[in-house]
Structure 1
Amino acid sequence: MKTTTTAELVFVPAPAAGHLFSAVELAKQLVTHDQRLSVTICVTTMLTAGFKAAIDPTADDSSVASRIRLIDLPIVKLPPNTNPSETLPSILEASSASIKKIASDIIRRRTESSDDSPRLAGFVIDMFCTRMIDVAGELGVPCYVFYTSGANFLGFMLHLQALYDEGKLGDLAELKDNGFEMEIPSLKKPLPCKCLPSAVVEKEWLPLLIDNTRRLREVRGIAVNSFLELEPHAIDFLSTGGIIPPVYPVGPILNLKAVQGNEEVMEWLDDQPAASVVFLCFGSMGSFGKEQVTEIAVALERCGQRFLWSLRRSPEAGKVGPPSEYEDFDEAPLPAGFLDRVSGIGKVIGWAPQTAVLRHEAVGGFVSHCGWNSVLESIWFGVPVGAWPMYAEQQLNAFQLVEELGLAEEIKMDYRWDGGTVVTAEEIEGGIRRLMAAENDEGRKSKTVKEVSEMSKKALMEGGSSCSSMSRFIQDVIDNIS
């Protein structure tokens, strides 16, 4: 039977969990939206069996799954002393020949079988994979970017890049401590320099980020994981003035089926009253040292709030990597007797099934690192956030949630994972009390979160802002097949 697929896109996501989940979900939405499209996703990192199962497109409708394929590229082994800022460029450089061959094979199949195979319509690359712009150029096909952060961060980076190229960008590492503010076109309010994203105040990362941002101006279009109703000011800035190629807000792009809840956690939540539990979870890389863990525990015990706390072991001193699990929480740096004293109201767990927890009606607040995927998930499920950023662009996300959007309470907006600061039990307790009181105060904050939650769902429906933006993106892809 002759296929209706006429255009194939090659996806190159960054080798990180949040970026891969989002890329696969975007691929699913694209092929669901238009039967003319198929997608090949190039995976540049080794995936565990559980992770593969979570992103496996064959678990969806067969008509969709048949038009998405995941290809594992050869694993790139870098020297153990590779600088973290050089890791991704090195992986992409080593993988570029394999990716080019995959794309070339699509062109060859089309040439050999005429109308029976789809044409290569172009590349869709992660925001950090701009090295692939050159590969697309060598093959003579368009290149698009999937920007996995929000529109505000994109606007922020474009502004920094312009200042950098004009020689007007000072030492951001010094600025973050001087009490000044910056005017950012994608923000309505001035940004306190203490809330500058960690990614740009680290001197080894800034040149890479600036170069990546500069190269965004070369692509055919940018799909942003956001929606018009969430970031109207930033999207308006990006869409006017011709500063970059067309921007398509197509979010929220979320893999809500990525993980299932663990039975013990779900049963515990089932026994809690509606909107009574504060959930503390800090992402796949989130962990704290002994002193900070103790302060969190003291705060939770003092405020007497029902809680579910994802507590994980930090890497050994001097080592970089994801946190590990405690085999027994008696090994954790918790105050003596803490687990016994809170056993009636709280539960400490390891890795957390975040989406399953956030969708549970017992959860009324989410103390979060403000990673963009977590931000979108909290909005989707209508759960107010306690903002406690750690790294990357999270300080900017936290400022946006608290000050621009009114969707969050501050725990510590200017916290930095490697800054040596310890957030006190008093600060944490106060933030949690404000967060969980969102239903009070005439319900204003809770009502706002619920309203934006409904907007996020409507944006993806037929006629919604993101659905319409997705249609425009697809039409551009189809119109520009070489």
Structure 2
Amino acid sequence: MKKSELVFVPSPGVGHLVPAVEIAKLMVNRDDRLSITVLVMKHPPLDTKINEYIKSVSASISDHIRFVYLPSEEQTNSGINFLSLFIESQKPHVKNVVSKLVQSESSSESPQLAGFVVGMFCTTMIDVADEFGVPSYIFFASSAVALSLMLYMQALNDEKNVDTTEFKDSDAEFMLPGIINPVPAKVLPSVVFNKDWHPIYFGNARRFKEAEGIMINTFLELESHVINVFSDGKTPPLYPIGPILNLKGDGHDVGSAETNKNKDIMEWLDGQPPSSVVFLCFGSMGSFGEEQVKEIACALEQSGYRFLWSLRQPPPKGKMGFPSDYASPEEALPIGFLDRMAEIGKVIGWAPQVAILSHPAIGGFVSHCGWNSILESLWFGVPIAAWPLFSEQQLNAFEMMIELGLAVEIKMDYRKDFRAENEMVVSGDIIEKGIRSVMEQDSEIRKKVKAMSEVSKKALLDGGSSHSSIGRLIEDVLNHMK
């Protein structure tokens, strides 16, 4: 049988590219009949870490995987639709690359195009796959609950003509398919309440149904109720293939400034007792204003726990962008805080999260509840204190706390507005209570997280649920070519 080529088109940004590459690695390692071309979209406002990441994995990656950078487009639109317009502008480039792949198929050595794997925000690329007469598969980088909500809200909008913006600040509750507890409107993603985002949110959800299957970064044992709902034939088959994690973390050249910072962090952790340190980190987009930073500092000082705090400086007011490291963090902290905490705490900038969570000194994780961070914390058996900021993070926090009992609360319905002048400030007392709760050594939640850690690892082993799901996916892809 001729070899089969899959074309991966991940959504822009390193947060979508990394799990896509990890899936590609899993698939080609499982079956040498497969080769994969990953098409990389570069959009400077979204991510500057893409080159760094690809450079770090290229040395160790299989020769069955190759990267192709798509040409950069000059992007003048900076409004809400910039992402969908940017992805649309990439279609001719994708078509051009795939045309060259298909032309080379005449060689007996060249693989045959088997299909596209497109990111959850790149469903417009289904059009390109259709032109080549091959199936499309969606890679959904978040949870099964987030997928359930997306399809539920799209059905409310399209089939029942419900204006979902009316749920903003309401006490409405929803019974989502596969969810046991009613989901309050206050934990829904902001896109549900903002009409400007509906073409993107609902538009992508509509197109999911055109795919041959949906690959999702979760595992059956974690979200079984929701996953089983999708076997009703109304949606394409679901392939739970997670947890898909980049356990090597971010690669840096030996001797670089980042490597030296990481070494300093890990050496500090080496000197701390097991499970004694609470780690605070809020993802690549997470940062707080001065007043909130001082409340966090107060909570840490009052709690008395050892801590490692990734403190980032917000982008300029009113501008959407990535946080950066402080030149001198003391300017944002209470006077004398670093001196008083020198023996028990460490304030850092950007954090090598995987390396930190895997360290035995870490006992709890104050997190924004991004899905990748949740999967990492479960993998390493570290309980979370939930403090979501935006996107689907409030829903993730609800699922972990209320539905599954795998996290404690700091502020489940906290919502960060990039342009707000007076953002909600969570008091030090509430933060301290969350820290004490997540650091409790013999809690039920800690035991449940440790048990789920074992289950998450078994899912990927031979005979595990995700291992079987990946096998089924590969067979379905290859059978389509017969």
* Cα distance in 2 between the residues matched to 1:82 and 1:326: 26
Determine if contact 1:5/1:37 at 8 Å carries over to the other structure: no
Q: Distance in 1 between matches of 2:298 and 2:195?
A: 35
Q: Alignment partner of 1:286: what SS?
A: coil
Q: Is the contact made by 1:259 and 1:356 (CA closer than 8 Å) also made in structure 2? A: no
Structure 1 residue 38, shift from structure 2 partner: 0.6
Tell me which of 176, 183, 192 is aligned to 2:175.
Answer: 183
Contact 2:219-2:465 within 8 A present in 1 as well: yes
1:320 aligned partner? 320
Q: What amino acid maps onto 1:398 in structure 2?
A: A
- Distance in 1 between residues matched to 2:150 and 2:43, nearest whole Å: 30
1:207 to 199, 204, 207: 199
Task: Check if 1:219 corresponds to 2:211.
Answer: yes
- Whether 1:99 and 2:102 are equivalent positions in the alignment is no
The residue identity in structure 2 corresponding to 1:250 is: I
How far, CA to CA, are the matches of 1:324 and 1:410 in structure 2? 27
The offset of 1:5, in angstroms, is 6.7
SS in 2 for 1:54: helix
**What percentage of residue pairs aligned between the two structures are identical?**
53
Closer, same or farther: CA 119–215 of 1 in aligned 2, 3 Å = same
Q: Which amino acid aligns with 2:242?
A: G
CA distance in 1, matches of 2:36, 2:472: 18
- Structure 1 residue 166 displacement after superposition: 1.7
Pair 1:249-2:240 in alignment: yes
User: What is the DSSP-based 3-state SS (H/G/I as helix, E as strand, rest coil) of the residue aligned with 1:228?
Assistant: coil
Q: 2:321 is matched by which residue type in structure 1?
A: G
For normalisation by structure 2, the TM-score amounts to 0.93
**Following TM superposition, by how much is the alpha carbon of 1:46 offset from its aligned partner in structure 2, in angstroms?**
5.7
User: 1:350-395, CA deviations, whole angstroms, 9 ceiling, x for partnerless residues?
Assistant: 0000000000000011111111110110111110001011111111
Give distance in 2, aligned partners of 1:168 and 1:187.
Answer: 23
Whole-angstrom CA distance in 2 between matches of 1:404 and 1:369: 18
**Deviations for 1:312-349, whole angstroms, at most 9, x for unmatched residues?**
11011121100011111122x21111111111111100
Residue 431 of structure 2 is aligned to residue 467 of structure 1: no
C-alpha contact (below 8 Å) 2:115/2:135 kept by paired residues: yes
Cα–Cα, structure 1 residues 169 and 46, in superposed 2: closer, same or farther, change >3 Å? closer
Aligned to 1:39: 36
Where do residues 77-476 of structure 1 align in structure 2 (5 Å cutoff)? Answer: 77-79=74-76, 81-83=77-79, 85-111=80-106, 113=107, 115-172=108-165, 174-239=166-231, 241-259=232-250, 262-331=262-331, 333-418=332-417, 420-437=423-440, 439-441=441-443, 444-476=444-476
Contact kept in structure 2, 1:176 and 1:195, CA below 8 Å: no
Structure-1-length-normalised TM-score? 0.93
Q: Secondary structure at the match of 1:106?
A: helix
**SS of the residue aligned with 1:42?**
strand
Secondary structure of 1:409's aligned partner: strand
Map 1:40-55 → 2, pairs under 5 A: 40-45=37-42, 51-55=50-54
Give, in angstroms, the shift of residue 33 of structure 1.
Answer: 1.1
SS in 1 for 2:274: coil
Q: For 1:424 and 1:221, locate their aligned partners in 2 and report how far apart those are by CA, in whole Å.
A: 45
Query: Does structure 1 retain, via aligned residues, the 8 Å contact 2:13–2:50?
Result: no
Asked whether the 8 Å contact 2:157–2:164 carries over to 1, the reply is no
- The SS at the match of 1:205 is helix
Residue 411 of structure 2 aligns to a residue in which SS? coil
Structure 2: which amino acid aligns with 1:253?
I
CA drift at 1:101 = 1.4
Q: Distance in 2 between matches of 1:466 and 1:34?
A: 15
Aligned partner of 1:76 in structure 2 is 73
Structure 1's unaligned 5+ residue stretches are: none
TM-superposition CA deviations, 1:12-46 (whole Å, max 9, x none): 11111210111111111110111111110111116
CA distance in 1, matches of 2:194, 2:401: 24
Partner Cα distance (2:292, 2:198) in 1: 28
Q: Deviations over 1:221-264 (max 9, x none)?
A: 1100000000001100112x212111100001111113267011
The reply to whether residue 25 of structure 1 matches residue 19 of structure 2 is no
Residue 121 of structure 1: how far off its partner (Å) = 0.5
The amino acid across from 1:129 in the alignment is C
1-structure distance, mates of 2:50, 2:40? 12
151-160 vs 355-364, greater mean Cα deviation: 151-160
Shift of 1:284: 0.4
Distance in 2, matches of 1:445 and 1:394, equals: 19
CA contact (8 A) 2:411 2:426 kept: yes
Indicate conservation of the 8 Å contact 1:54/1:258, yes or no.
no
Give the drift of 1:169. Answer: 2.5
Counterpart residue identity of residue 229, structure 1: E
Once the two structures are TM-superposed, the CA of residue 152 in structure 1 deviates from its matched residue by: 1.0
SS of the residue 2:51 aligns to: helix
Q: Unpaired segments of 5 or more residues in structure 2?
A: 252-258
Instruction: Report the Cα offset of residue 55 of structure 1.
Output: 3.8
